[in-house]
Amino acid sequence: MKENKIAVNLKRIRIARGLTMEKAAEAAGITRMAYHNIEKGIAEPRVSNLQKLADALGVKVFDLARSVPKLSNVRFRALKWKTQKSKQKREEIKNETALWMRDFRDLEELLLNGKDNKACLDNQKYDLNSMSPEKAADKARKCLGLKGDEVITDICGLVESAGIKLHFMNIGLENFFGFSVNDKELGAAIVVNSHESIPTERKIFTVAHELGHILMHPDSFNDDEEEIKVQEDEANAFASYFLMPSIAFHKRLSEIKGLDSVDIILHIKRVFKVSYMTVIKRLIGERVATNDIYKTFCYRYKERKSFEFKGHKEPEPLAPIDCIEDRLSRLVREAYEKELVSMSRAAEILGKSIVDMRDLVNGWMAVK
């Protein structure tokens, strides 16, 4: 239905331009109510108003009326999506992801002359779903060229090098960390919730966790809403071994056994870029520590730093720069500098306002 396509695209582009509904309506020369009804899909715009909206947003009419790809091969499970409002939010997130993936794919084809860029981690080839999480993680690391004791310094770049798209999106929920897509047409992607309350350590773990689903649970991408605990536990174990392979974990542990237990946990956490809870669970799982280690760590660290363990707060946290995707930004820069895309189109692809896009372009100029 045309009005639904227009509604979805209108909202997406308006937000990318950093405009409120009122400002968008004013720029197009129509009433706020008329704009509201069009963006919400309540009313279909007249041709004249559609052109005004396109002009106001700096896009073509086609960009407003183009279809939104349907994501069917998506693993988007959580108990948060039970109300009608949350279900609508879920569909908006899927629509935004689908459009983002198509823009990404189109940009790849534009710059790579149609060369296919599919993930090298082919589940059917390696049959990872028949392996234990530890063996699957080890196989995935070898496929990506990592040595047995090698520490992953840039998981975003590593996953992107395998042809898996990464998208950081503020989903607006504190306890929903991300989801993954394994679509035949648009490719594989991992979407990470960039909500400010979620620490960098959790975002890194989410990337590894969703990678585990893509590799171990290829038949689970059916858009169901319910979580399957066994699969979640397997993806968590995969992420732990992928980020902290046993050989590297025990090697590092043996080198710092003279430290206080608090410092041991903090050191391992910083080296492997994981959360303190991931380290603690691993210590317990490897039977290097007892279940009391959690209480001991929290008590001793709180005494040392007057730190409150609330929400997702991390002791000695990583910086946001430790987990950023950059492949799409590189492709956009290349396309922009080759004059294959305009600044407004570049802004739309990256989800930025024109002002922010200009600022980014100026930043590019500083480093050739």
DSSP 211-261: HHHHHH-GGG-S---S--HHHHHHHHHHHHHHHS-HHHHHHHHHHSTTS-H
Global confidence as pTM: 0.84
3-class DSSP assignment, residue 123: helix
The overall average pLDDT reported for the chain is 88
- For 176-207, the pLDDT digits (tens) are 899 999 988 888 999 999 988 899 999 999 99
Cα first-last separation, the chain: 45
Q: What b-and-e string marks burial along 291-303, b requiring 16 or more CB atoms within 10 Å of the CB?
A: eebbeebbeebee
Cα 214 to Cα 225: distance, rounded to the nearest angstrom:
17
- For 258-310, the pLDDT digits (tens) are 999 999 999 999 999 999 999 999 999 999 999 999 999 999 999 999 998 88
- For 131-152, the pLDDT digits (tens) are 899 999 999 999 899 998 899 9
CATH number of 2-67: 1.10.260.40
DSSP 248-296: HHHHHHHHSTTS-HHHHHHHHHHHHT--HHHHHHHHHHTTSS-TTHHHH
